[in-house]
Amino acid sequence: MEFRLPDLGEGIAEGEVIKWLVKEGDIVEEHQPILEVETDKALVQVPSPESGKIISINAKAGEKVHVGDVLCVVGSESSPVKPQKEKVEQKPKKKGSVSVIGELEEAPDEEETKVESPKAPSKQSSPNVQVLPSVRKLASEMGVDLSNVKGSGPDGRITEDDVRRGSNQSQKPSTTQPKTGPTVAFEKFGRVLRIPLKGIRKTIAENMIKSLQSAAHVTHTDWVDITNLAALKDKEKTAAEDKGVKLTFLPFIIKAVVLALKEYPYLNSSLDDSSGDIVIKQYYNIGIAVDTPNGLMVPVIKSPNEKTLIEIGREIYRVAEMARTREIQLKDLQGGTFTITNIGSIGGIFATPIINHPECAILGLGRAFDMAVPLDGEIRIRKMLPISLSFDHRIVDGAMAAKFANEVKRRLEDPDALLMGY
């Protein structure tokens, strides 16, 4: 059988083959990992859909593959199967497969469909447009009419590159339009190193620009006195270590954020641009920005409102380590409603963090340190935490953002109120 790249979920339509774990002629078992594919979110081990012999390998290491592309041919040794010419209308075998991201569930909405093109003036119909829903979504976002796009893929399939070219052609040319990209030949001044913008780094770049272009960013800053919280953390540190958890401030902050989100639910929302609705989520999934060797990743702590501080601490460690080792599962990167980024773990005080689109807000944590502050008419040394709250001003006004920050601040400054949930 022809084994095609399955739908990996979360709108992932393509990936890069990193390496094959088998070679032609090898006998494999069903669900045995046979290659590694790097998507814009994670490194995924793709399993064999059935037991058999690897008759042929169709995608080389370093090659970009799209959902539906033939990766290899698996067959029996006695009846080898020769790869057939790829046909877009041929539906892949409806069977889930297992990899490091769990079961790759069927995604019937990702099967290619045909859209009838409008009839030309000559009364002859144009050929049917063959396109994946992920490509159709891109075309909708870029305002491209697919009936006017010529596909360059197999059997005339329209690819994402075709849509982007169609978008460029649809724009009115301007004689005064500046050229894109650098105009300086940097090489003439000395040696340079060119690194392709791809994988996670490319995704980060695209998401940052998309967030800045689609939201009205404003940042609110404040100081939080965490002296009492630091004392509580130090008190419970040994007990947490006995349970295998290194207790940090982050679980407490996540708890405080969730309680504040319940008071100010608009900070836990998104703006649906297609319908114009503000979508207030009545569930709480907190993204944690993690610095990895491959770039910034945001694993998600699901339902921390239903977890203890120890459970949250254990989950933070699990997803952070999996992100750093590229073993993170896609389900752990999905469904976030609010994000926290800990700038102070590296160094820094205040920042202007960019909202994790399509969320409404992100909380940046600076480096906590001892400061001399006025308290009860005296100057005292207190442990202070700088915070930076960036929010979408289309959804939330400055007053509401300040009130939300005050709620977070109040609970962190009063650990008893935090633990009691009021």
Give the position of tokens 């088998």. 22
Task: Kindly give the interhelix angle for 160-170 and 133-142, rounded to the nearest 10 degrees.
Answer: 20
407-412 LR contacts (CB < 8 Å, sep 24+):
407/256, 407/259, 407/260, 407/263, 407/264, 408/224, 408/253, 408/256, 408/257, 408/260, 408/363, 409/222, 409/224, 411/255, 411/256, 411/259, 411/260, 412/224, 412/226, 412/229, 412/252, 412/253, 412/256, 412/385
pLDDT at residue 362, rounded to an integer: 98
From residue 251, give the alpha-carbon distance in Å to each of 212, 331, 412.
29, 21, 11
| Count helices and strands in the chain by DSSP H and E runs | 8, 23
Task: For 211, list phi and psi in degrees, rounded to 5.
Answer: -65, -45
Which tokens sit at 396?
């939330």
pLDDT at residue 329, rounded to an integer: 84
Domains and CATH numbers, the chain: 2-109 (2.40.50.100), 113-155 (no CATH), 201-420 (3.30.559.10)
Contact present, 268 and 280 (Cβ < 8 Å): yes
pLDDT at residue 95, rounded to an integer: 41
Residue type, position 300, single letter: V
Annotated catalytic residue 220: no
Give me the tens of pLDDT residue by residue for the chain, a chain 422 residues long.
Answer: 889 888 766 567 788 898 899 999 999 998 898 998 887 667 788 888 889 999 999 998 888 888 888 999 998 755 444 444 444 444 444 444 333 333 333 334 434 444 444 444 433 333 455 677 667 777 777 778 887 888 877 667 788 777 877 776 655 444 444 445 556 788 888 998 888 887 778 888 888 998 998 899 999 999 999 999 999 999 999 999 999 999 999 999 999 999 999 999 999 999 998 888 999 999 999 999 999 887 889 999 999 999 999 999 999 999 999 999 888 888 899 999 999 999 988 889 999 999 999 999 999 999 999 999 999 899 999 999 999 999 999 999 999 999 999 999 999 999 998 998 87
pLDDT in tens, 58-100: 998 888 888 888 999 998 755 444 444 444 444 444 444 333 3
pLDDT at residue 128, rounded to an integer: 54
376-407 b/e with 16+ CB inside 10 Å = b? eeeeeebbbbbbbbbbbeebbeeeebeebbeb
Write out the E strands in 298-377.
300-302, 338-342, 361-365, 369-375
Distance (Å, rounded) from C-alpha 402 to C-alpha 150? 51
C-alpha atoms less than 13 angstroms from C-alpha of 242 in its C-beta half-sphere: 5
Active-site position among 217, 220, 357, 393: 393
